[in-house]
Amino acid sequence: MAYTTIDNPELYFQTKLYTGNANDGSGTTQAVTLDGSENLQPDWVWIKSRSATKSHYLFDVVRGVTKELNSNNANDENTNTQGLQSFNSDGFTLGSEPEMNENGTTYVSWNWKAGTSFTNDASATSIGTIDSTGSASDISGFSVVSYTGTGSSGTIKHGLSTAPSMVIIKNRSHDSKSWIIAQKSIGYANGIFLNLSDAKASEGSAFNSTAPTSSVFTVGNTSLVNDSGDNYIAYCFADIQGYSKVSGSYIGNGNASGPMIVTGFSPAWLMIKQTAAANDWFIIDNKREPFNPNNVQLVANGTSASTNKGDLDLLSNGFKPRSSNAAWNENNAQYIYMAFAEQPFVTSTGVPATAR
C-alpha cells in the first residue's frame, strides 16, 4: 500500500476562485483569501480569468511582487504596480489591474508553496557552475530558481535534494523567447514549449541532453535558457508520493473509456499536453468543476475563458479520460501531464481517499 509524507496537500497547493472588484485605475485593492483547511502563504501564484478572454499571469516570491509573466506568450517580464501587490499569510492582495481584478469578472488562482530561501555562489560552494537564488521545499518537491545566463553550458543549483523530473524555464529579459520545458518522459534531448501548442522538439542544446541530478539542472548555451547577461526563472518539480506527479506520460486509446492513469492520489489540479502533435496545454481543477465528469478546461497557452473540450474523471488514485477528444485521448498518442493532489490515495496513517 502506498503511503505519503503529505497527508494534507493544502499545505502546499490550493486553488482559489474569486470575482474581481475593481475598476481600472480606481486604486481599489482586493485581498484574496485562500479557503483551504490550512493557511498557505503562496510562493508561486498563477491567475487566469474564467469568464473573459485574458492572459494568464504568473508571479513568484523570488522575482518579487508586481513582476508578471504570461504562460500564453513569449513576452519578457513586465512590472505592473496594479497587479499582484503582496503575498499574504493566507493568500495575496491585488490592485485594480483588470486582467486579474476587473469588477464582476470571475477568476481562478492556483497557488503553490515552496519554502526555504537560498543563495548559491557556485564558485564558493562547488554546487553547479552558475550562481542562483531561489525558494525550495524538499517536502513538496518544488523550487523557484533565478539565475543570470553566462552564454556557456553550465549547471545550476535547484535547491531540492531529489532530482526534479520537470523544469520550466523562461527568459525574463527578452520578448520572443518561449517558455521551454524539460520533462523526464520525453527525454532531455527534447523540449516542449508552454506558450505554444507545438509538439515536442529536438532541443538537446537547451539542456545538453542531460537529466537533472539531486543538486543541479543543466543548461546549454541557447538564448532560451542561457544567453549571456539575460535573467531567467526556472520552476523545478520532483515527484512526491501521494502529492505530485510530474514525470509521467500515457498513451491514449481513442475511445470513450480512456486509459486509467494512476497518480497515487486524487488530483486537485491537472495539466495535460499531447507530445507528438500540435495541441494545447489543458488545465483542469477540482474547484471550477467539483464533480465528475470534469469538462471545464482552461488552456495555458491561450487566452480563452473556460471551455468544454470533453469529459475526464478525477478519481481517488488518478484520472481517466471519458472521451476520445485529442486534447487527452487520441489513439496511440503520447501525453505528458503534471498533477497535484486533493488528497493522497492512502494517508501516512492508512486512511484511504474517497472518490468524488
CA atoms within 13 A on the CB side of 19: 3
Give the predicted TM-score (pTM) of the model: 0.96
d(CA 220, CA 226): 7
What is the C-alpha end-to-end distance of the chain, expressed in Å?
21
Which range marks the domain in which residue 25 is found? 9-112
Residues 92 and 29 sit within 8 Å (Cβ to Cβ)? no
Position 345 confidence tier, pLDDT thresholds 50, 70, 90: low
Q: Is 202 left (phi over 0), alpha (psi -120 to 50) or beta?
A: beta
Q: What is the mean pLDDT of the chain?
A: 94
Same domain, 227 and 123: yes
Domain-terminating residue out of 195, 216, 237: 237
* Number of domains the chain is built from: 3
Task: For residues 42-62, give the mean pLDDT.
Answer: 98
Pick the last residue of a domain from 93, 112, 131: 112
Q: What is the DSSP secondary-structure string of 305-341?
A: --B----EEEETTEEEE-S--TTT--TT-EEEEEEEE
Q: What is the mean pLDDT of residues 212-237?
A: 97
Range 319-338 average pLDDT:
95
Q: Is residue 4 part of a domain?
A: no
253 and 193 inside one domain:
no
Region at 201 (left for phi over 0; alpha for psi -120 to 50; beta for the rest):
beta
Q: Does some domain include residue 356?
A: no
Handedness of CA 234, 238, 240, 245 (dihedral sign): positive
- How far, in Å, CA of 303 to CA of 300, rounded? 8
